Amino acid sequence: MELPVSQRSRRIRLSPIRSMTVECARVGGINLAQGVCDTPVPEAVRRAAQQAIEAGENVYSRSEGCDELRAALAEKMRRHNGLDYSPDEVVVTNGATGSLYVAAMGLLDPGDEVVLFEPYYGYHLNTLEALDLGAILVPTRPPDWELDFDELETALTPRTRGIVINTPSNPTGKVFSRAELAALAELAERRDLIVFTDEVYEHFVFDGLDHVSPASLPGLRERTVTMSALSKTFAITGWRLGWIAADARWTQTFAALNDLVYVCAPTPLQQGCARALALLDEDYYRGIGPEYQAKRDQLCRALERAGLTPFVPQGSYFALADLSRLPGETGMERAMHLLRVTGVACVPGEAFSERPEAHALGRFCFGKTPADLDEACRSLAGLD
């Protein structure tokens, strides 16, 4: 009897991050492929969640999320992003992954198209695929990952309903400037597009640049779905805590779909984060950029010395580098060579782009402990 899996599930591309991680463990290497953040969770965050569990806050929350967390997130967005959302316009989700799934399911229909900038974050593409949405891939080009607005405009079709912005971006580290966002805002208004913006790396910004939330631009708030998470900011990727902020007319749709797919985000962790957001002072958030900029510089120096020229990122905790001098035809072959010779695992570029140039790229994560990063940098020096 043949019981095939769905067409939809066949379109989902499994990330090579998993296979690189398995290979890396097999050779006892250093995993710069996986995007988990190895830095410590702030004590206030850990304690507050433990207290919430002990206080018995262990049952379902409302599907919109706990009121305390919704209020704390609205306040955070006002403070850090200049965004004016009321707590009623915030829906707590299961990480930023849950945010895009719920938001895209809530606002788009099968066959609608969404612009994705290439190199893209694989989950963004797979989420669109899982919802039977079409992805229109528009390249950004190295070294600065600039956008060609004429190319973007030409790529749009009458079915295009949305655009995904990821700033700072995984994997390029691009931080969209206010001018670029203003041009995107003009396009979105003229073509009546919904803007889905993923800002999980909002605090991981370097070189004195500012993170600009698209919804803070004139005219964009009404058509923008702001998506973020505490996953990276508090180094709690396993807690599954993210949110959507958007105009009130969409809140109940998002809440209903969040209820359907996830029921709710973990209640004690929501309560813990609500309290931690009130406890942590600004020094914590201000410290993230410089800490990760130092890690970026350390990794990029090691890549440069190894002849794997990095495209130095403006934000996030990833750097793309040029692997073209390594033997192999594909990014995977080059990444495997690097792993065999140095024990350092990266993600081959074809995980982020369908363009042939991607086979010359590798993505390295620098959200690592100082000891792991030191060892990775030492090992890269062993590449001839």
CB nearer to ligand PLP: pick between 237 and 379: 237
> 331 in helix, strand or coil?
helix
Minimum separation from the CB atom of position 198 to ligand PLP (A):
5
Choose, by CB under 6 A, the member of 16, 29, 35, 106 that binds ligand PLP.
Answer: 35
Strands 344-345, 134-141: pairing is unpaired
In the complex, least distance from residue 189 CB atom to ligand PLP, rounded to whole angstroms: 25
- 212 Cβ contact partners less than 8 Å away, ≥ 6 residues apart: 167, 176, 177, 178, 181
Looking at 52-60, 91-99, 102-110, 256-264, which segment touches ligand PLP (CB under 6 A)?
Answer: 91-99
Give the nearer residue to ligand PLP in terms of CB position, either 233 or 293: 233
Closer to ligand PLP by CB, 203 or 383: give it: 203
- How many residues bind ligand PLP (CB under 6 A)? The answer is 13
Binding mask 324-363 for ligand PLP (x = CB under 6 A): ----------------------------------------
Give the residue with the Cβ less far from ligand PLP, 24 or 125: 125
What distance in Å separates the CA atoms of residue 236 and residue 372, rounded to the nearest whole number? Answer: 19
Could you tell me the two tokens for 121? 């974050």
Query: Alpha-carbon distance 51 to 36, whole Å?
Result: 25
The residues near 38 (Cβ < 8 Å, ≥ 6 apart) are 235, 367, 368, 369, 372
For residue 295, the tally of other CB atoms under 10 A from its CB is 21
* Residue 121 sits in the site that holds ligand PLP (CB under 6 A): yes
- Torsion angle of C-alpha atoms 132, 138, 141, 147, degrees rounded to 10: -130
Shortest Å, Cβ 97 to ligand PLP: 3
Handedness of CA 117, 137, 223, 122 (dihedral sign): negative
- Tell the burial category of 28 from Cβ atoms under 10 Å away from its Cβ (0-12, 13-18, 19+): exposed
- In angstroms, the first-to-last Cα distance of the chain is 53
Query: Minimum CB separation from ligand PLP for residue 171, in Å?
Result: 8
Kindly state the helix (H) or strand (E) to which residue 133 belongs, with its residue range: none
Closer residue to ligand PLP (CB): 46 or 337: 46
Do residues 56 and 191 make contact, with C-beta atoms less than 8 angstroms apart? no
Quote the tokens at residue 276: 């931690």
Residue span binding ligand PLP (CB under 6 A) among the ranges 95-103, 156-164, 248-256, 282-290: 95-103
Asked if 320 interacts with ligand PLP (CB under 6 A), we say no
For residue 351, the minimal CB distance to ligand PLP (Å) is 12
Binders in 225-254 for ligand PLP, by CB under 6 A = 229, 231, 237, 242
Q: How far is the CB of 230 from ligand PLP (least distance, A)?
A: 8
Q: Which 159-218 residues touch ligand PLP, going by CB under 6 A? A: 166, 170, 198, 200
Give contact residues for ligand PLP (rule: CB under 6 A). 35, 95-97, 121, 166, 170, 198, 200, 229, 231, 237, 242
